[in-house]
Amino acid sequence: CVQKAHICVSRSVGTKVVATQAEDSGKDEREEKAGPKSLSAFLVERQEQAERSVLISCHPKTSEKKFLKYLSRHGDIKKHFFYDSYGTYAVVEFSTQDGVRSLLDAAVIPSVSHESAVPFKSRLLSLRTTGAVNQSDQQPGLQCRPQSTVPISELIQTLARQETVDQQIMCLTQAYQLTEENSRLRFLVCSLLKDIAAAYFPECTVKPFGSSVNGFGKLGCDLDMFLDLDDISGRDVQTPKSSLSVEYQMKRATSERAVTQSILSVIGECVDQFGPGCVGVQKILNARCPLVRFSHQPSGFQCDLTVNNRVALKSTELLYLYGLLDRRVRLLVFSVRCWARAHSLTSSIPGAWVTNFSLTVMVLFFLQRRSPPIIPPLDHLRQLAGPADRSVIEGNDCTFVSDFSKIQLQTNTETLEQLLNDFFEFYSTFPFGKMSINIRKGKEQNKPEVAPLHIQNPFETSLNVSKNVNSSQLERFVALCRESAWLLQQRDAPPGRGRRRDPPGLGTGHPAAAVPGGRSQKSKEKEKGTGHANASRVY
478-517 b/e with 16+ CB inside 10 Å = b? bebbebbbbbbbbbeeeeeeeebeebbbbebbbbbbbbeb
Judged by the rule CB under 6 A, the positions of this chain that interact with ligand CTP are: 209-211, 214, 217, 221-222, 224, 312, 315-316, 355-357, 457, 465
160 vs 285 by CB, closer to ligand CTP: 285
Q: Which of Mg ion, ligand CTP, none interacts with 465 (beta carbon under 5 to 8 A by kind)?
A: ligand CTP
**CA-to-CA distance for 343 and 158, rounded, in angstroms?**
20
130-144 b/e with 16+ CB inside 10 Å = b? eeeeeeebebeebeb
Q: Is residue 163 within the footprint of Mg ion (CB under 5 A)?
A: no
Q: Which of Mg ion, ligand CTP, none interacts with 438 (beta carbon under 5 to 8 A by kind)?
A: none
Position 340, amino acid = A
How many chain residues interact with Mg ion (CB under 5 A)?
A: 4
Q: How far is the CB of 338 from ligand CTP (least distance, A)?
A: 12
Q: How far is the CB of 127 from ligand CTP (least distance, A)?
A: 32
Q: Which of Mg ion, ligand CTP, none interacts with 107 (beta carbon under 5 to 8 A by kind)?
A: none
Q: Which of ligand CTP, Mg ion, none interacts with 178 (beta carbon under 5 to 8 A by kind)?
A: none
Q: Which of ligand CTP, Mg ion, none interacts with 456 (beta carbon under 5 to 8 A by kind)?
A: none
Closest residue to ligand CTP in the complex (CB): 210
1-35 b/e with 16+ CB inside 10 Å = b? eebebebbbbbbeebeeeeeebebebeeeeeebee
Q: Is residue 180 within the footprint of Mg ion (CB under 5 A)?
A: no
Q: Which of ligand CTP, Mg ion, none interacts with 99 (beta carbon under 5 to 8 A by kind)?
A: none
DSSP code string of 246-307: --------S-HHHHHHHHHHHHHHHHHHH-TTEEEEEEETTSSS-EEEEEETTTTEEEEEEE
Q: Which of Mg ion, ligand CTP, none interacts with 226 (beta carbon under 5 to 8 A by kind)?
A: none
**CA-to-CA distance for 276 and 12, rounded, in angstroms?**
4
**CA-to-CA distance for 299 and 297, rounded, in angstroms?**
5
222 vs 389 by CB, closer to Mg ion: 222
Q: How far is the CB of 209 from Mg ion (least distance, A)?
A: 8
Q: How far is the CB of 92 from Mg ion (least distance, A)?
A: 27
- Stretch touching Mg ion by CB under 5 A, among 208-216, 358-366, 376-384, 491-499: 208-216
Q: Which of ligand CTP, Mg ion, none interacts with 294 (beta carbon under 5 to 8 A by kind)?
A: none
52 vs 186 by CB, closer to ligand CTP: 186
82 vs 357 by CB, closer to ligand CTP: 357
**CA-to-CA distance for 155 and 339, rounded, in angstroms?**
13
Q: Which of Mg ion, ligand CTP, none interacts with 356 (beta carbon under 5 to 8 A by kind)?
A: ligand CTP
**CA-to-CA distance for 511 and 152, rounded, in angstroms?**
10
User: Length of the chain in residues, anyone?
Assistant: 539
Q: How far is CA 266 from the centre of its chain?
A: 26
ω into 372 cis (within 30 of 0): yes
Q: How far is the CB of 539 from ligand CTP (least distance, A)?
A: 30
301 vs 339 by CB, closer to Mg ion: 301
Q: How far is CA 416 from the centre of its chain?
A: 23
x/- letters, 210..229, toward Mg ion (CB under 5 A):
xx----------x-x-----
Q: How far is the CB of 413 from Mg ion (least distance, A)?
A: 33
Q: How far is the CB of 386 from Mg ion (least distance, A)?
A: 30
- Could you give the count of Cα atoms lying within 13 Å of 370 in the half-sphere of its Cβ? 27
CA distance to 33, 80, 147, 230, per residue, from 64 (Å): 29, 10, 19, 41
- Stretch touching Mg ion by CB under 5 A, among 100-108, 123-131, 209-217, 312-320: 209-217
Q: Which residue, among 412, 329, 318, has the nearest Cα to 363 in the 3D structure?
A: 329
Q: How far is the CB of 301 from ligand CTP (least distance, A)?
A: 11
Residues binding Mg ion (CB under 5 A): 210-211, 222, 224
